[in-house]
Structures are given as C-alpha cells and as structure tokens.
Structure 1
C-alpha cells in the first residue's frame, strides 16, 4: 500500500510539474510579446521620421455680400389641412400677374485666387559660437536635412535673417517667420 501511495504521489507530482512548466512557458512568451510591443511603440514614437511638406493650397476670395435681389409670390392654392376645404378662391389668371419684378443677375466676377505660401518643415536645433572669431553658427533642419547656418545665408530660397540661442528668424518670399528651438 505504501508503494502505491508513493507511486501515485510521484505520478501526480510529475503531472503537476508538467502543468506548471507549460503555464510558466506560456507566461514567459506572453511577457516577451508585451515588452516587445512596448519597445516597438517607444522606438516608433521617438524615431525622427521625415515629414513631407504640405502641398500648396489654392484659396479663393469670396465676397460676403450678394447684390442679387430675389422676389417671391406666395400662391396659397392648397386646401386647409385642419378644415379639409379651401378658404379662398384661386384664380389662375391672377397668378400670371405682370406686376412681378424681373430679376436681372449681374455677371459674377471670377474669384481672385491667392496661393498660400508653403513653408517647408523646419526645426531649429541650436547655436554654436566660435570663441575666437565670435561667429554664430546654427543648425537648422529643413525637410529632415541638417544645415549649418549663419546670418545672411540663403538655403533653398530661405534667407537667415537673425540667429539667437533660442530661435532663428527666417525669410521666404518677403514673409518672415521665427522658428523656436526644439527641446
């Protein structure tokens, strides 16, 4: 009897060890998948992908006032829905009344199209100053490409107007814009 209990116990013990190992392996695999997903999302978030510039947008100027006047004449030639009968005498000759105003529409002027200025994607990285020559040199990323800049430089039709430690002043087609240093 003692031998059976010992054998029975050892058989059950092996079976439970097998269950524990399979549960343990499943949990380890699940943990690896979860941490892999977290690492992938973090690397995707912190990656420096190039952003394509926004396409040019054509805008139209629309006048708010309309000089077109409109007149209406109500023809109440329907029956009363509550009484079920008509309360008036309808005369079709009256509906063709010549006293109605003739509407003349003015020819519409073509809308003025103004092209919106499309600025490239710019990111100011910072400023370096040469101690001997006191020349300021900055790093400006334009459409994902790093450029060393100095005051007065022109890169891709963008003129560098002024440099400071926290921002750069740039000019494109007589429009000036300040780019703040990214953190």
Structure 2
C-alpha cells in the first residue's frame, strides 16, 4: 500500500472511533432508561454471624528455640533506700540595671592634624574628651553632629543636644 492509502484508512478508523464516542455521549442524554424494579429481583441481605473461638494461653514452660526449660525465679524485692545528695539552692540575685548616666554635650573640637572630631561630654559630672566609637564606663558614642550627639548605654540609645 502506498502512503496515500494508509492515510485514508487511518483517517477512516479515527473518524469511526470518534463517532462511537460521540454517539455514546449524546445517547446518554436522549435515551429513555426507565428501569422497573420488581419484587422478585429484590432479595434481603443475608446476615452471617461469625462465632469467635476463645481459648486461654498458658505460659510457656520450654523455650521453643533453645529447648531449655524455663523456671521462674521468685523475686523477693528488698527495700532499697535511695539517698539523694542535698544540693544547696543558690539564691537568685536580681539583676541590677544601671541607670542611664547623666550626659551633657558641650560641642566638638576639630584638630588640625587629625581628621577625627573630638567632643566634650559631661558624664555624671565629669568632663570627658571623647572620640567617635569610644567607650567610657559603658557609654558608647555612636554619631557626632555639630548640634547633637547620639550615645548608647547597653541596649538603650539616646540623643543629646548641645547646651
């Protein structure tokens, strides 16, 4: 057969298959399917009861794998006295949080030979000369501006203005 004849046969087969599929699909909507149930067709369900076999299991006297006879050892539990070492409890001391120190900002000084700025801070009534990112008694200078300074003490951050 030539290629042309094979194509014609295959197209005819595909059209026939799709025709049967469409026929069954459309026939479902237009067919008259009245099913009449008669009492002869209906049968009552048969209930079957299963009786369970019960028996008592006896403890094994002989080990089936080793072939040894097992004997029970009677345990006479002796009273055990468990002494727990006493652990002295440590008193929990409350954490003392230091209050934020009293800070006053008096301005900054530019030096001619160094590019870093030096500022004057009064911390708890002590005048200090401080540079950027320096730590004095837990007080850390974060940022320096002409009119203010930002410092941190622990996790708390505050800003102080000049004056």
- Which TM-score band applies after superposition, normalised by the shorter structure? 0.3 to 0.5
Highest RCO, 1 vs 2 (Cα 8 Å, sep ≥ 6): 1
More helix by share: 1
